[in-house]
A and B are shown apart, each in its own frame.
Chain A
Amino acid sequence: MDLSDAVLDRLRHVAALPDLSATRYEIEREIGRGGIGVVYAVLDRDLDRRVALKVLEVPLAGEARLIARLEHPAIVPIHEAGVLPDGRAFYTMKLVSGARLDRYADEQRSLADRLRVVRRVGEALAFAHSRGVIHRDLKPQNVMVGEFGEVYVMDWGVEAVGGTPGYRAPETVLDHRSDIYALGALLRFVVPSSAPPALRAVVARATSADPAARYPDVTGMLDDIERFQEGLAVEAWSEPLWHRTKRFASRNALLLWLVAAYAFVKFLLFFLRTL
């Protein structure tokens, strides 16, 4: 019997699927493929719910347990980890519906919206750092924005990951400052190239080649972003006097109008009196 191309493709596809017969999961479809593994949407038969299952091409390091204990609204929770019959490691996690940050940023979004996402990612990083976990591979493809604006950071701390060019810090030994570099690169990715100089300075400091020149922690960087959003001076940039004056005038425009109104009233009354 001749096998058509379609049948052959189907056989190849099925043969490539992981064997989940020993688990309670049933594959529905592939939803993503990365450097170290493939993610599937699967049905958890016991709990009758859909979850995401990631099959890794690399061994799952001991820190998986640590990551599983990271309970934060912006960190995708891991439900279960295990090993497939073929020896590959897998873990299941919450199935997040929404858009990956690279696609989300392609759409027409306000700067405030984009910065909100970066701040949520930063909060998740700060939390993980406080628990001794670093991400190692933060990039837009690892951030999901849900349909209600919720933000999730995925793919935490797999030792074998060396980072992604453009987001990976230049140092050989990664630590929390490497995540700050990646967060700076993420900020550069989501804000337009015409972003104000204060925001570009935040990016420049976060992505400095020298780890010591970066923000000492994620919170410091988030504080600077917040200061920028509130119209205050950022630590990363010693702004020129004219810019400081312009920022003050813009931030206090109403007050300046009221003072001008007072001066106008006083002059008007004075000159009316002399008529």
Chain B
Amino acid sequence: MNKITIGLLMGLVLGAIDGASAWFYPEVRSMIAGIMVGSSIKGLIVGLLTGWFAQKVRSTPWGIVVGAALGLLFAFLVASMGDEAGGHHYLEIMLPGFVVGAIIGFVTQKTGKAGRAERAAL
């Protein structure tokens, strides 16, 4: 399995789990399906980009930094969209998004096959 696929899978699973944690908040429990779908899509995009980065650069510290930064960026975009009441939950969305991005960055660096160009160089 290549690193982009690993990133997509990790992003999807962790995004879904992160979204599912909204169940603990009664005020948004009714929207949990939408939150999970949105969070999964966010995870997929972060996973895709982080996996692509891991194909190009073999560095665990940089993988974590880039994953965390992408997680933070996309979590910010989601948070800035606001909820139905017009409220913004920057901290609640961006902080976990940051850590989830870091986890995806770590996993894509440590697992999955290197890209074709890199294998040829090894």
- Which A residues are closer than 8 A to B by beta carbons? 254-255, 258-259, 261-262, 265-266, 269-270, 273
Contact = CB atoms under 8 A, between A and B. Distances in A.
B106 A265 contact: no
Q: Which 5 A-B residue pairings sit nearest by Cβ, starting from the closest?
A: A262-B99, A258-B103, A265-B95, A261-B99, A269-B92
At the interface, is chain A mostly helix, strand, loop or mixed?
A: helix
B91 interface: yes
A262 B60 CA distance: 18
Interface in B18-36: 21, 24-25
25 contacts: A254-B60, A254-B106, A255-B107, A255-B110, A258-B64, A258-B99, A258-B102, A258-B103, A258-B106, A261-B99, A261-B102, A262-B96, A262-B99, A265-B95, A265-B96, A265-B99, A266-B21, A266-B96, A269-B91, A269-B92, A269-B95, A269-B96, A270-B24, A273-B25, A273-B92
Nearest to B93: A269
B8 interface: no
B4 interface: no
B48 interface: no
Nearest to B67: A258
Contacts of B24: 270
A258 B102 CA distance: 7
Nearest to B96: A265
Contacts of B91: 269
At the interface, is chain B mostly helix, strand, loop or mixed?
A: helix
Contacts of B100: 262
Nearest to A261: B99
A259 B103 contact: yes
Among B91, B99, B102, max chain A CB count under 10 A is at: B99
A258 B24 CA distance: 21
Given A254-B106, A258-B99, A265-B99, 9 more contacts: A258-B106, A261-B102, A262-B96, A262-B103, A265-B96, A269-B91, A269-B92, A270-B24, A273-B92
Interface in B95-114: 95-96, 99-100, 102-103, 106-107, 110
Contacts of A258: 64, 99, 102-103, 106
Contacts of B60: 254
Contacts of B99: 258, 261-262, 265
Contacts of A265: 95-96, 99
Nearest to A270: B24
A270 to B, nearest CB: 6
A99 B103 CA distance: 46
A261 B106 CA distance: 14
